[in-house]
Amino acid sequence: MASTEPRPAAWWVMLVSALAVGLIAGYGAVVFRAMIGAIHNLSFLGRLAFEYDANLHTPVPPWGFWIILVPVAGAIVVAFLVKTFAPEAKGHGVPEVMDAVYYHEGKIRPIVAAVKSIASAVSIGSGGSVGREGPIIQIGAAFGSSVGQIIPMPARQRAMLIAAGLFIVSLIFRIIDLDVCARWPIGTHFLWHALNAAVLYAVLRGAIAERQHPLSQE
């Protein structure tokens, strides 16, 4: 039986796709950080503001004893969003991305990025004991997968765009996990494309993320 897998995309298509993933992930990181700040300030201070510095103590909330219900309400909202709209958005983020690459040809539903963004922002903003790294890895991978599904390409190249998204996220948090790269199911062949995307994003990051005050407050 003849294979129905699309023909490999040209190198310049992959390069432009990596640039698109960098743009989307760069602005996505800024929006995600602003969402956390907005939900945190609304939940704990009763005002809508996007500025939030995790290194500073939050002022005394006006809710008194009832402040203990804020994390509970956040957990209920997160459970509803994930269970109703995107069950694959649950968990840390990295195992779900690897599962999609190994068993689903690198296909991640676009709604996963939206649900993961909202659910993670609600969880972190309402006081949940979680970090931003895992969620934003899955968000970046979903962006890369979405671009790889819009443009016809084989699963191997789609995985390269997902890997590019992971490198982009690594730059945001100033880490690159080469152990994960070495264990990627397509081997180390994707490293050149992913590093190209990382270099492109490094330039974009200066114009997008670093000029945004909230993101620079690490």
DSSP label at residue 208:
T
pTM for the model stands at: 0.73
Distance of alpha carbon 127 from alpha carbon 62, whole angstroms: 16
* Domain presence at residue 190: yes
Q: For residue 210, is pLDDT > 60? A: no
The enclosing domain of 109 has a CATH number of 1.10.3080.10
**Does residue 1 belong to any structural domain of this protein?**
no
The reply to whether 50 falls in a domain is no
Range of the domain at 107: 18-45+67-216
Q: Is the model more confident about 86 or about 163?
A: 86
Q: Are 30 and 212 in contact (CB under 8 A)?
A: yes
Q: Is residue 11 part of a domain?
A: no
Count of domains for the chain? 1
Q: What is the mean pLDDT of residues 190-205?
A: 54
* Structural domain includes residue 118: yes
Does residue 40 carry a pLDDT above 60? Answer: yes
Within 8 A by CB and 6+ apart from 196, the residues are: 15, 18, 164
